[in-house]
């Protein structure tokens, strides 16, 4: 028997990858029934949606729910997670909706808003706000936001949410196989040596603090993570970067930039919440502290997102302006770098 699935969970925990090798003595059976019988806590409709989204492959080719499994077939599945068991209540919270149709909703999330309930944040989340927003136009009360990716509480910017399970499954495939185009802007400590580069390293939970992530050389301790960066502007003691994600691990940009010695400006969690570069002059210290007050969070913004629409197949791209707090601090550093004393 070799029917126990190998499970590989994407670090964002919004979709999973399973692999089955069908037993030699297996009689022909519809693949949706086969999978449903071998996996716990899964509905048949969820399996069917995954197949219809092209997320179930047999021997490398996508199949429909009525495919009949055969002995020694190799089955791989990408499953989007269903909504969490945590009860979500609609809350009338303002949310910046950039685009919406019957399948997706794109928002520009403000910093400080948690994406979904959990870990002490059971109300006031983006999901609470979106549920209220959706139910205003859905009298049946069946509308529900289905997450396909996340950004941290104190990261601002573009976030895509599915409005039904099939759309979620199709979008999950794009995120799992890294075909989406995600661009972030980051203000980091230090003056990077190169104008552009790529950061690699396996990202996994820190064994000393499970709330943090770290980079491991050993691939058994973390998942492969790849971040491409390009310098947008240099301000002497800090740099403004464009970061493109090839993978989507938890805290990936924050951890990768700390790993190369350039943590995000005011990222307290990953070492950027103190003066790391510059001078000992009192005026400089006061300047940086004023910047921290203007931007009381990590300097990271999800600027743009490109993907294929789950129903129309059309390429879509959404971009956002810098939020006011980040824009103000960038302006201050730009002015400072132009007028700073070269002897400092």
Nearest Cα neighbor of 318 from 159, 163, 174, 129 is 159
Angle between helices 31-38 and 44-52 (to 10 degrees): 130
Hey, what are 317's tokens?
């791209």
CA distance 273 to 292: 8
CA distance 255 to 42: 33
Residue 152 catalytic? Answer: yes
Pairing between β-strand 209-216 and β-strand 181-189 as defined by DSSP bridges? unpaired
CA distance 202 to 224: 4
Q: Which of 32, 152, 267, 325 is catalytic?
A: 152
Non-local (6+) Cβ contacts of 119 within 8 A are: none
Which residues are marked as active site? 152
């Amino acid at each position: 028997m070799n029917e126990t699935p190998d499970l590989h969970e994407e670090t964002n925990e919004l979709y999973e990858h399973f692999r089955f090798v069908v037993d030699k003595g297996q009689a022909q059976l519809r693949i949706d029934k086969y999978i449903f019988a071998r996996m716990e806590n899964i509905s048949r409709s969820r399996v069917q949606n995954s197949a219809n989204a092209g997320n179930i492959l047999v021997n490398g080719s996508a199949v429909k729910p009525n495919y009949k499994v055969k002995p020694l077939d190799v089955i791989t599945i990408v499953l989007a997670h269903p909504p969490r068991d945590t009860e979500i209540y609609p809350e009338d919270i303002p949310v910046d909706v950039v685009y919406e149709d019957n399948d997706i909703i794109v928002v520009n999330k403000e910093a400080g808003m948690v994406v979904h309930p959990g870990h002490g944040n059971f109300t006031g989340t983006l999901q609470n706000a979106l549920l209220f927003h959706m139910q205003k136009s859905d009298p049946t009360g069946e509308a529900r936001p289905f997450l396909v990716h996340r950004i941290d509480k104190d990261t601002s910017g573009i976030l895509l949410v599915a409005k039904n399970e099939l759309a979620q499954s199709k979008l999950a495939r794009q995120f799992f196989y890294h075909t989406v185009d995600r661009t972030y802007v980051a203000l980091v400590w230090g003056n990077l040596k190169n104008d552009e580069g790529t950061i690699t390293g396996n990202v996994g939970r820190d064994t000393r603090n499970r709330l943090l992530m770290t980079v491991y050389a050993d691939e058994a301790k973390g998942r492969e993570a790849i971040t491409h960066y390009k310098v947008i502007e240099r301000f002497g003691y800090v740099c403004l970067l464009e970061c493109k994600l090839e993978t989507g691990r938890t805290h990936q940009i924050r951890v990768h930039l700390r790993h190369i010695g350039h943590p995000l400006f005011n990222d307290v969690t990953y070492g950027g919440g103190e003066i790391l570069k510059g001078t000992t002059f009192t005026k400089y210290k006061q300047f940086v502290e004023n910047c921290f007050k203007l931007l009381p969070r990590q300097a990271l913004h999800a600027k743009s997102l490109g993907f294929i629409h789950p129903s129309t197949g059309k390429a879509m791209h959404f971009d956002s302006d810098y939020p006011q707090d980040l824009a103000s601090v960038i302006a201050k550093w730009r002015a400072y770098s132009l007028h700073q004393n070269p002897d400092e």
